[in-house]
Chains A and B, each alone.
Chain A
Amino acid sequence: MITIQNLDSGYGKLRVLKGISMHVDAGEIVTIIGANGAGKTTLLNTIAGLVRPVNGKIIFNQQDLSLFKAHQIVALGCSLVPEGRQVFATMSVEENLVLGGHVCSKKHGRSTAAGELERQYALFPVLKERRGQLAGTLSGGEQQMLAMARALMARPTLIMMDEPSTGLAPLIVMEIFRIVQKMRDEGNTVLLVEQNARAALGIADRGYVLETGKIVLQGPAAELIEDGEVKRAYLGRDYETITDR
């Protein structure tokens, strides 16, 4: 599905990612966990074409994404749900979704896009209830669902999610992660960046641990969740003891 080789990326002179190699196979949920500033968001933004890579390859279905612009990457089937939702607050829920389906309707016709809209309403019934409501008036959890549904409207083969749990109540987080699992079960491939490592590893198939722009550990999620270092550094147990070694 997507294979990343020796990716270097950053902003101006600041190099954030230093030689990242990773892959996501079709039908997997792969999570990237790491502390603040480790480079998780930069990685997603680089794949999405919002940040240009300095070096390395991002091969997505046999095509090197570093040669494409952000909107072309969406058309290739790779969508990003950005951190902080970033829904269009002054537009209605449905308008947000139709906007997300722009690529789909261009590629497959309006009727397919309309069918896609119904699929999203089936996956997120609350959005159907609030279809006419302004997006800015939705709760945090509903906005997150809208952002996810908007990304799915482009019929992506890979969906990347940046910190979907930020600022949400635990119950809502559980609901969001349940939907992510459902998305995987319906055949989607998910690359999930998350600070809530426990929740992310709980639903993921595999995980990578990012530390100051480098991958220091990877493996099946079930193994990572049991790993002593991961537990201490990312699952809320005495972080200091691991960094002082």
Chain B
Amino acid sequence: MENAKIEYLSPEAWRQWHTELLQSTVNRVYKRVPFYRKAMDAAGVHPEDIRSLEDMRKLPFITREDLSTNYPYDLFAVPLRDIVRIHTLRSAQKNPVALGYTKQDLEHRRNLTARFLQVCGVSPDDVVQICLDPGLAMLGQELKEGAETLGALVISPDPLNSSARLRVLVDFKTTAVITSPSYGRHLLWALQESGKSLASISLKKGIFVAETLDHGFRKELKKNFALDACSGYGIFEAMGPGMAYECPELSGLHLAMDHFIPEIVDPASGNVLPHGETGELVITTVTTRSNPLIRFRTGDLTRLDARPCPCGRTTWRMAPVEGPCNDLVSVRGIRIAPEQIDTFIEAQTEDDPPDHLLVIKNHNYLEKIELWIAINHDLFTGSLPQLHNWCRELENSFEETIGLSCQVRPVELRTIKPYLDEGRTIVTMNSQPDRMQPV
């Protein structure tokens, strides 16, 4: 496990910790990663110019596009022989994103995830069930390793439907469930529908990842299901799911500042904003060996609080993410960019890509997506079975490419034109049932 004292350093000690690690990271990437060297040279900044944390502002940003552009090896700061695992991520760009990890990188991530779960109250006595969509499989894998490090009994994120998951939850006396808020809602709805009593389950806490846990849902969980809820924040490109977590005080998410330096910037200008102001979270990893990120734009809107927490930890806290600062949408914790859908449709159609609209619907608290395609003469040649087959093929490719199942619906252009005229390519159509009642 990580050094337990680290979360309680004084502000001066944090400053020294970050300055040392920032300087050595910048020295290393300037020497080892041509991308950073070029970007820093273009910005007219040399490693020796970084003499304090304020000097960080001189460093250029790195974005998800840069990660994709430099696919496959160009951002690695260590030789390939030191890398023991590679993860590839979907990207809105032409190339995927490849992230490498050294043994030490994996250990840091594992320990950090374990720390997150430990602060959320997971102990070796817990039976932890991970219920996440297949599109969040890598997140589930890291959470599993973190919970195993703590010595808890872990039920892996299996691709079961909700009723099967509920059965496992009852049979194995799950005490903590790790899920996304949207899937958590659906699971509780399914629990109500199944008619099982609250007494028949051993569930004590819910740990929510991948999406923001809203206050109302937390209250609802406590009131109606006697469940303690806490949440974590993480991005896969940086340190994984344990990057920020709620302590029992529930006064914001503690950032794991021993591994990265957080900043908040104005999404438009890139200027650093003072604590308390809402802006885009920017992360600089300082312990990562394989793929260090210098000023990575996360795309998430939040604000920071540097005041010490009543729990005693001195790590800065971030407010729950208010949303993306670009036009990304999150469906069951999986982020989708409009241009990702455009690229997908273009790749699937030979000639003119048809007009399309991505519709997010809420069915029994579970978000489902439909892809509405405006039928034209190229697509409909007069044979309904052929059109039907084409739709099924598109659905399969969508799931493979985006990581979510989707229903493709052929529609007339006039159905979707009003949305397209407003410049919207993704819309949400809510059809929520009434609020959940106590079991």
Contact = CB atoms under 8 A, between A and B. Distances in A.
B50 to A, nearest CB: 8
A186 interface: no
A211 B24 CA distance: 10
Given A219-B287, A241-B79, A21 B19 contact: yes
Contacts of A5: 16, 19
Among A21, A215, A223, residue most surrounded by chain B Cβ atoms (within 10 Å): A21
A218 interface: yes
Interface residues of A, number: 24
Contacts of A227: 102, 104, 289
Contacts of A208: 24
A4 to B, nearest CB: 9
Interface in A206-245: 208, 211, 214-219, 223, 226-229, 241-242, 245
Given A3-B16, A5-B16, A219-B287, A214 B47 contact: yes
A216 B21 CA distance: 9
A21 B18 CA distance: 10
Given A216-B28, A228-B78, A228-B81, A19 B23 contact: yes
Contacts of B78: 228-229
A22 interface: yes
Do most interface residues of chain B lie in helix, strand or loop, or is the interface mixed?
A: helix
B256 to A, nearest CB: 16
B82 A215 contact: no
B104 to A, nearest CB: 6
A23 B21 CA distance: 11
Contacts of B32: 245
A21 B12 CA distance: 14
A208 to B, nearest CB: 8
B51 interface: yes
B24 A215 contact: yes
Interface string A195-211: 00000000000001001
**What range describes how many residues of B lie at the interface?**
20 to 34
B48 interface: yes
Interface in B29-62: 31-32, 47-48, 50-52
Interface in A22-54: 22-23
Given A18-B48, A241-B79, A245-B32, A218 B20 contact: yes
Contact of A217 (B16, B24, B47, B50): B24
A216 B48 contact: no
A86 interface: no
Given A19-B51, A227-B289, A217 B28 contact: yes
Given A228-B78, A228-B102, A229-B78, A215 B47 contact: no
11 contacts: A19-B23, A19-B47, A19-B48, A23-B16, A23-B20, A208-B24, A215-B24, A216-B24, A217-B28, A228-B79, A245-B32
Interface of B: 16, 19-21, 23-24, 27-28, 31-32, 47-48, 50-52, 78-79, 81-82, 102-104, 287, 289
